[in-house]
Amino acid sequence: MTTIAELLSKVEERREELIELAKTLISFETPAPPARNTKEAQAFVARFLEEHGFSIEMWDVYPGDPNVIGIRKGTEAEAHKSLIVNGHIDVAEISPDEKWELDPFRPFVRNGRLYGRGAADMKGGLAGALFAVSLLDQAGIALPGDLIFQSVIGEEVGEAGTLECCKRGSTADFAVVVDTSDLHIQGQGGVITGWITVKSEKTYHDATRRQMIHAGGQVVAASAIEKMMKLISGLQELERHWAITKSYPGFAPGANTINPAVIEGGRHAAFIADECRLWITVHFYPDETHEEVAREIEEHLVKVASGDVWLRDNPPTFSWGGSSMIEDRGEIFPSLEIDPADPGVRLLAASHQTVIGREAEIDVSPTVTDGGWLGEAGIPTVIYGPGDLMNAHAVNESVAVEQLVDYTKVLLQFIYQWTHEKK
């Protein structure tokens, strides 16, 4: 029977196959936006998993964007620990004016790096994970615990394909999100978007402005745009307060930000603006929830409004989150806090050290992934994948081939060891 050490050596021997698999995944054009383009790529993943002993669940989250869950039942599943390997098949959008050296979906290797959209974020990670499970199957190695492979859609635009997996009851004793982490074992803060709306019950001609702002005008009214400026100032005060009073190990001070990203208001120049809407993006720390953060902002802005004679009677309203930046202009990425003493974290760190020869770095990602949804579902989860954030979403995106090979080895060893762990 093939040993795990022999399988690790096969990753080296067959690295060209690993690279070709990554190239194949990159060659599927799956940018989001525009999205609705992952069907062929997901069909490829489903066939690959099925050929290597997985039963397949595949369903449309959106038309043309299906999720895939592959399940390889353990031989002694009741007694051994189960594992989810999770990754997203969509990649970052590409603007027409981006100056790529070659077509971003025609991957190539040069000077030890694999180039193409998704190489770092995160088709390299998906390729390594798929290659690892194929080697286990080809060697005839039976895993005692269940292995669940989730290839999901929509991560780049907040469509949370992973959340849809959780809703279907897909669960395990531990999960690894194979997203961009430069082989660090990571948790993450969270992100939530929200809309703040200021609205007047009445509309006014722009020629009435003098009566609203000068002595004796006798019209108690206001421009919603100008009143939103007061709320933006309130958000800046709260942001500064958070920077002073909140912190989390591994994050730079003030990483919990409130970004006024988009403002919409007014009808046209002949009206006093009777409505103004502000779209904000909020970053928060791993020990906070998106519900808590939204509540803090609402409470603060209601107090700001209470100090204004017009906003007191026309208070702001709030709408938080959303299921898609494309469909409803909103998203939520729950935070993910990891415990270095968790058995899964410790075993993954040990696998990393055994294979790579140096201690694993356990820290926090400055960005967000779908991992928070798995954590929110009660599954101990980490982010661990090849590629770095300087390359993610970048023009001429790339990943180091050597890192991709190392990553595949670590994941191969971890899958084997974790699914052999007794519950």
Positions marked active-site: 90, 155
| First-to-last C-alpha distance (Å) of the chain | 25
- Contact in structure between 250 and 256 (CB atoms under 8 Å): no
β-sheet bridge partners, residue 281: 193, 259
Percent composition of the chain: helix, strand, coil (DSSP 3-state, to 5)? 35, 25, 40
Q: How far apart are CA 105 and CA 284, in angstroms?
A: 34
Q: What b-and-e string marks burial along 77-92, b requiring 16 or more CB atoms within 10 Å of the CB?
A: beebbbbbbbbbbbbb
Query: How many CB atoms within 10 Å of residue 75?
Result: 12
What is the Rg, in whole angstroms, of the alpha carbon atoms belonging to the chain?
25
β-sheet bridge partners, residue 283: 191
Q: How far apart are CA 353 and CA 273, in angstroms?
A: 61
Q: How far apart are CA 175 and CA 155, in angstroms?
A: 17
- Report residue 142: phi and psi, to 5°: -90, 130
Beta strands in 141-288 (DSSP E): 147-152, 175-177, 185-188, 190-199, 258-265, 275-284
Q: How far is CA 378 from the centre of its chain?
A: 17
Query: What is the chain's length?
Result: 423
Q: How far is CA 279 from the centre of its chain?
A: 19
Query: How many CB atoms within 10 Å of residue 252?
Result: 8
